[in-house]
Amino acid sequence: MRKRNRKDAETTGISKERAFDISAWTPKTDIGRKIKAGEITNIDMILDAGKRIMEPEIVDALLKGLQVDLLEIGQSKGKFGGGKRTIWKTTQKKSKEGNKPSFTAMAVVGNKDGYLGIGMGKSKETMPAREKATKQAKLNIIKIKRGCGSWQCNCREPHSLPFAVSGKNGSSQLRIMPAPKGTGLCMAGEARKMLALAGVKDVYSRTKGQTVTRVNLLIACFKALKELSKVKVMPEYVAKAGIVSGRKENKEVTQ
């Protein structure tokens, strides 16, 4: 049973981050030193100021309950010509010594309460690629606006998106639209993992272009979620749609 569980964990890639020991951390940036000194106690102070996160330990120190998931962007060879989805995208380089394989992984991190990050890592071995992808995802963490933008629901709870957003990467286009309660995440399986880690429960989606390219589709999904923070919302619509930015206790502030 232990071998089977270990194999399942390696296949799915789902894991929880361990408790971060801030006393053993030696920060290398000014933001990191302020966090260790207690001057910065909330990640919103960094994201709202538009400052760039340069150390993954910053996210570990400020965001509790962070979860990591590896997205299935690769495909292994099947026995009879078919293939099975895997979390490793494998490429090979021809050389005089033989074939030199390299592995690429795409990781997504989130706390299921309004924060999400995505990143990619490449290495000659699987575990270093996984660690690089996880670190890059933490450096790309963003806040997600949530609300009830569906005219069919109007419950004023942050279970969906406040309005429709679109994202494009390469030839893949994705449009995410609000949905009423109980609809679920009606979109591609790997993109569904991203929205679940962001704390979104009900959406519709529409795709265009070459959606078979999973990496482009997932990056397009992340770009679409980025658009939520770029749109200014009227104060009356904030109360009507129950919009929150980041955690549920954070009320949306309009300028």
In this structure, what CATH number is given to the domain that contains residue 183? 3.30.230.10
User: What residue numbers bound the domain in which 232 lies?
Assistant: 145-245
User: Mind listing the pLDDT tens digit for each residue in 110-126?
Assistant: 999 999 999 999 999 99
User: Mind listing the pLDDT tens digit for each residue in 181-232?
Assistant: 999 999 988 899 999 999 999 999 999 998 888 899 999 999 999 999 888 8
The size of the chain, in residues, is 255
Q: How high is the pLDDT of residue 65?
A: 87
User: Does residue 4 have a pLDDT over 50?
Assistant: no
Does residue 79 fall inside a structural domain? no
What band does 79 get if pLDDT is binned at 50, 70 and 90? low
Q: How high is the pLDDT of residue 188?
A: 84
Please check whether residue 92 is in contact with residue 168, taking contact to mean a CB–CB distance below 8 angstroms: no
- Rounded to whole angstroms, how far apart are CA atoms 204 and 187? 7
Strand partners, 251: 244
Does residue 216 fall inside a structural domain? yes
Mean pLDDT for all residues in the chain:
87
Lowest mean pLDDT among 38-47, 54-63, 69-78, 105-114: 69-78
User: Does residue 99 have a pLDDT over 60?
Assistant: yes
CA dihedral 218, 224, 226, 228 (to 10 degrees): -150
Please check whether residue 83 is in contact with residue 76, taking contact to mean a CB–CB distance below 8 angstroms: yes
Does residue 127 fall inside a structural domain? no
End-to-end CA distance of the chain: 56
Single residue among 64, 97, 121 that ends a domain in this structure: 64
Q: Model-level pTM?
A: 0.86
Residue 254's nearest CA partner among 226, 225, 234 is 234
Q: How much of the chain is helix, strand and coil, in % rounded to 5?
A: 30, 30, 40
Element (H, E) at 118: strand 115-123
- Indicate the angle between helix axes 214-226 and 189-198, nearest 10 degrees: 30
User: Does residue 6 have a pLDDT over 50?
Assistant: no
Please check whether residue 86 is in contact with residue 63, taking contact to mean a CB–CB distance below 8 angstroms: no
Single residue among 64, 91, 120 that ends a domain in this structure: 64
Single residue among 41, 64, 87 that ends a domain in this structure: 64
Burial class (CB in 10 A: 0-12, 13-18, 19+), 66: buried
Q: How high is the pLDDT of residue 189?
A: 82
User: Does residue 139 have a pLDDT over 90?
Assistant: yes
User: Does residue 5 have a pLDDT over 60?
Assistant: no
> How many other C-beta atoms are found inside a 10 Å radius of the C-beta of residue 100?
11
Number of domains in the chain: 2
